[in-house]
Amino acid sequence: MHSAQPALCSGHDPLRLARAGMSRLVEPTDPTAMLLLAALGPVAALEIATGSRPIGAGEHPVFVCAAAEAGYGPRQADLRRALARWAPRAEQLDPSADLAVAARAGAWFAVPEDPDWPAALADLGLFQPVGLWGRGDRRLLGFRAARAVAVVGSRDCSSYGRQVALDLAGALAARGWTVVSGGAYGIDQAAHSAALATGTAHPATVSVMACGIDRLYPPGNHKLLRDVEATGLLLAEVAPGCTPSRYRFLQRNRLIAALSAGTVVVEARWRSGAQNTAHHADGLSRPVGAVPGSVHAGTSAGCHRLVREGTAVLVTDLDEVLELVQPLGAAPAPDRPAPRSVVDGLSDPDRVLLDALPLTVPSRPDHLSRVAGLSAREVLGGLHRLEARGLAQATGEGWRRRR
């Protein structure tokens, strides 16, 4: 392998180079690798992980201690087993080349030691990404997760789900929220598109991808992802050239959850990646909303499940999403402007009297009194109150309701 340390000639510091190497060498959230990183730092971690040197006599107890503190047993802390797993990739490791490939694709590589590293990722603890490969204006990386909402859902969405995603993401973006999603077909696509169309935040939208940053996957979203790159951000934790695998999709979802104040699942099947994102968000104590739909639609079954299981709050519009993701008390969902009713503000006896008033043939107060079950005094007072509101009308033969 190429050494992880020299390459100062390439203009990259050893730490960045080591993290780039780790991002190629290990799969996201590989616990043994994450423990090595946390215990010994990127440079030593990569040297040991690639087998270019054994773990030192002074380092080993630090590593074992870190594993025990993180609650890991002998299996996850089994370095020999992990080295066997990493060895096949170690042979061909060349982080400088990866950085060069990225640069050719217009991408950069950010590390947790950078001042603009998204602070929200720290909530992932041990499973913070090794680094982030990104495309788009690097200065946008410092966007505030507290002002971002993840809008996610199934690839095979319904036209209903697509419309809701467009509406919600568009409204959030117009209010200055960053919309985070996964760049996939279906709900993700609608969320990114709407955010690009109406967004006022910088970035208006962020797409966290499951493949290498040099790829624009899926192919049908090529144009969309180029648009995201132009004004927003594309992010990936796996190295350039990596294919999007099922495992990487699932791990990627934790980044979507971590980079936003809350996650809204617009449509999801009973078993789906969007549910996985929701559980990541829930695990990070980020609020989760789920949009209801027809009980006959398999595309909403996962949303209903999230609500039933208590993972998600049911949300139906922008105000309810804002109530979910904003700090407590910032902006409660306004009371829905309920259709005004003619009985609003009437006392109970006056409502009963109004019910008793005939629409056509007028009725005398003594008759109204019996029909309504009210005293003569209540009836007379009530009739005048209703008349004042334009609800009752006196005629020569008695009183009737005014339409």
Interface residues toward a copy of itself, by CB under 8 A: 25-27, 30, 81, 84-89, 91-92, 160, 163-164, 243, 245-247, 269-271, 291-296, 300-301, 304-305, 307-308, 313-314, 316-317, 320, 336, 338-339, 341, 343, 348, 351-352, 355-356, 366, 369-371, 373-378
Q: How far apart are CA 266 and CA 181, in angstroms?
A: 12
Minimal distance, residue 84 CB to a copy of itself, in Å: 3
Minimal distance, residue 318 CB to a copy of itself, in Å: 11
Closer to a copy of itself by Cβ: residue 135 or 305 = 305
Cα 26 to Cα 94, 173, 187, 207, distances in angstroms: 13, 35, 30, 22
Are the beta carbons of 282 and 307 closer than 8 angstroms?
no
Q: How far apart are CA 91 and CA 2, in angstroms?
A: 9
Are the beta carbons of 231 and 206 closer than 8 angstroms?
no
Closer to a copy of itself by Cβ: residue 270 or 384 = 270
Which single residue is written with the structure tokens 């505030």? 144
Strands (E), 139-294: 148-153, 178-181, 205-209, 233-236, 262-267, 288-290
Cβ atoms within 10 Å, residue 45: 28
Q: How far apart are CA 24 and CA 92, in angstroms?
A: 10
Closer to a copy of itself by Cβ: residue 301 or 322 = 301
Closer to a copy of itself by Cβ: residue 11 or 332 = 332
Closer to a copy of itself by Cβ: residue 26 or 201 = 26
Which single residue is written with the structure tokens 């609500």? 307
Closer to a copy of itself by Cβ: residue 345 or 373 = 373
Closer to a copy of itself by Cβ: residue 68 or 343 = 343
Q: Residue 207: which of 187, 70, 126, 198 has the closest Cα?
A: 187
Minimal distance, residue 27 CB to a copy of itself, in Å: 5
Cα 130 to Cα 36, 95, 225, 281, distances in angstroms: 11, 13, 23, 20
Closer to a copy of itself by Cβ: residue 161 or 186 = 161
Are the beta carbons of 263 and 289 closer than 8 angstroms?
yes
Minimal distance, residue 118 CB to a copy of itself, in Å: 25
Closer to a copy of itself by Cβ: residue 256 or 357 = 357
Q: How far apart are CA 167 and CA 186, in angstroms?
A: 14
Minimal distance, residue 379 CB to a copy of itself, in Å: 8
Minimal distance, residue 304 CB to a copy of itself, in Å: 5
Cβ atoms within 10 Å, residue 317: 14
Minimal distance, residue 9 CB to a copy of itself, in Å: 26
Q: How far apart are CA 261 and CA 266, in angstroms?
A: 16
Minimal distance, residue 316 CB to a copy of itself, in Å: 4
Minimal distance, residue 305 CB to a copy of itself, in Å: 8
Q: How far apart are CA 144 and CA 146, in angstroms?
A: 5
Minimal distance, residue 106 CB to a copy of itself, in Å: 25
Beta bridge partners of 206: 180, 233
Closer to a copy of itself by Cβ: residue 146 or 371 = 371
Count helices and strands in the chain by DSSP H and E runs: 15, 11
